[in-house]
Amino acid sequence: MLKQTEGSHAVAEAVALCRPEVICAYPISPQTHIVEGLGEMVKSGQLQNCEFINVESEFAAMSVAIGASAGGARAYTSTASQGLLFMAEAVYNASGLGLPIVMTLANRAIGAPINIWNDHTDAMSVRDSGWIQLFAETNQEAADLHIQAFRLAEELSIPVMVCMDGFILTHAYERLDIPTQEQVDAYLPPYEPRQVLDPREPVSIGAMVGPEAFMEVRYLAHAKQLQALERIPQLAAEFKAVFGRDSGGLLHTYRCEDAKTIMVALGSVLGTVKDTVDEMRDRGVKIGVLGLTSFRPFPLAVVREALKDAERVVVLEKALAVGIGGIVSTNVRMALSGIHLHGYTVIGGLGGRAITRKSLHHHLGLAIQDKLEAVSFLDLNQEVVERELSREREKRRSGPIAENILRDIGVVAAKIS
């Protein structure tokens, strides 16, 4: 059904249609509206046969989900940023135990300095935890990916994280197609656990494993992600058959035919990137876009296939691997082993800084002339950086960095652009 709704609420409705049995909620911006929506649905009786638990931390949220999932229940939670870091130990535990929990990650920067706005640092910090990570480009895709996520998680018995850009998606109102219960029921069968704690058939879960078997257990997690590489496109195709629209899959290409330059990105920024590419195409530049939906598993072969005929790839990243530069680009380059093309990393949008077409034009303009630096920063105010560096050279007690910089640029309240 088409309706005008907030991204968070659409996700709450999609999750509710998946008939979750245990939802654990802990507030952190910008995911709060999702669990608030679900909480209201459980309390009003709209979502039945579901336990909604207000926990005391994100660590507890994931731990309660672990217990619920091991008890055979379909479990869901949602978090962002610091919350994900606070639950990190349990995030690894959930995947290590092979429990098909689904979690929304409303992508947000990680402090210090504390910042509630969007970037992808949180998701990237747990990229190797064994969770599947799917990135939504739009709110429609965010809602749809949750329905696919439960199916994928439960089939493979591994947890799935659906990443959606905080505020940009979570708080945006737009027209969305919310599926019917019949559609979701036709797509998503009831949860049949591979392992369950039940006195009728006692098992021990979470035994201590030494060097004699640890490698194999970890490798199995990898093997399951490789299986997911095959299942993700199939599930997207089945999704289209039931719901009538394209959502999910490993990646999407846009105007990549005959493209010499391809920009790779993930999440909501793809809209801006596509608009920029349209404008460049109008000027005759042979340029295209590769939008990654599945970051874990990373679709090496499909990425390679999509990029192999290009001359250069520019990866736009909303996270910074401090001390090296790019994270996504490192992964992309893994896909390009043996292929000679120019690779560029553009770091942008950190802490919610707007990624504008103007800035993208500038960087892509340099890239197509192969004049772009290997790692560059979109709209970085170098002057501000230099001022702080010189302050630190001049005196030992130069003071708190973030506060110095805010004083320099005269910002009294958060400003996005």
- Residues in touch with another protein (CB under 8 A): 21-22, 24, 49-51, 53-57, 59-60, 63-73, 75, 89-90, 93, 97, 197-199, 201-210, 212-213
- Cβ closest to another protein, residue 201 vs residue 257: 201
- Cβ closest to another protein, residue 38 vs residue 60: 60
Nearest in space to 363 (alpha carbons), one of 290, 280, 286: 280
Beta carbon of residue 213, minimum distance to another protein (angstroms, whole number): 6
Q: What is the DSSP string of 246-286?
A: ---SSEEEES-TT-SEEEEE-STTHHHHHHHHHHHHHTT--
- Cβ closest to another protein, residue 71 vs residue 271: 71
- Cβ closest to another protein, residue 39 vs residue 233: 39
For residue 171, give every residue at least 6 positions away whose Cβ sits within 8 Å of its Cβ, in sequence order, or none.
6, 7, 8, 30, 33
Q: Phi first, then psi: what are they for 325, rounded to 5°? A: 130, -95
- Cβ closest to another protein, residue 97 vs residue 162: 97
Beta carbon of residue 211, minimum distance to another protein (angstroms, whole number): 11
Beta carbon of residue 133, minimum distance to another protein (angstroms, whole number): 22
Beta carbon of residue 47, minimum distance to another protein (angstroms, whole number): 11
- Cβ closest to another protein, residue 90 vs residue 158: 90
**Alpha-carbon distance 246 to 229, whole Å?**
17
Beta carbon of residue 26, minimum distance to another protein (angstroms, whole number): 10
- Which structure tokens are listed for 147? 């329905």
The rounded Cα 337 to chain-centroid distance in angstroms is 25
- Cβ closest to another protein, residue 69 vs residue 268: 69
**Alpha-carbon distance 145 to 294, whole Å?**
11
Beta carbon of residue 62, minimum distance to another protein (angstroms, whole number): 8
8 A C-beta contact, residue 315 and residue 346: yes
Cα angle 140, 115, 394 (rounded to 5 degrees) comes to 145
Cβ neighbours of 404 (radius 10 Å): 15
Beta carbon of residue 244, minimum distance to another protein (angstroms, whole number): 32
What residues are paired with 6 via a beta bridge? Answer: 173
The rounded Cα 264 to chain-centroid distance in angstroms is 15
What 8-state DSSP symbol labels residue 352?
Answer: G
- Cβ closest to another protein, residue 104 vs residue 138: 104
Nearest in space to 16 (alpha carbons), one of 138, 242, 181, 159: 181
Question: Which stretches does DSSP call E strand in 36-147?
Answer: 51-54, 75-79, 102-107, 132-135
CA distances from 87 to 58, 61, 80 (A): 5, 8, 10
- Which structure tokens are listed for 36? 């608030």
Nearest in space to 251 (alpha carbons), one of 298, 219, 209: 298
Beta carbon of residue 100, minimum distance to another protein (angstroms, whole number): 13
Residue with tokens 């890239």: 367
Beta carbon of residue 52, minimum distance to another protein (angstroms, whole number): 9
- Cβ closest to another protein, residue 51 vs residue 278: 51
Beta carbon of residue 76, minimum distance to another protein (angstroms, whole number): 12
Beta carbon of residue 17, minimum distance to another protein (angstroms, whole number): 17
- Cβ closest to another protein, residue 54 vs residue 390: 54
- Cβ closest to another protein, residue 8 vs residue 78: 78
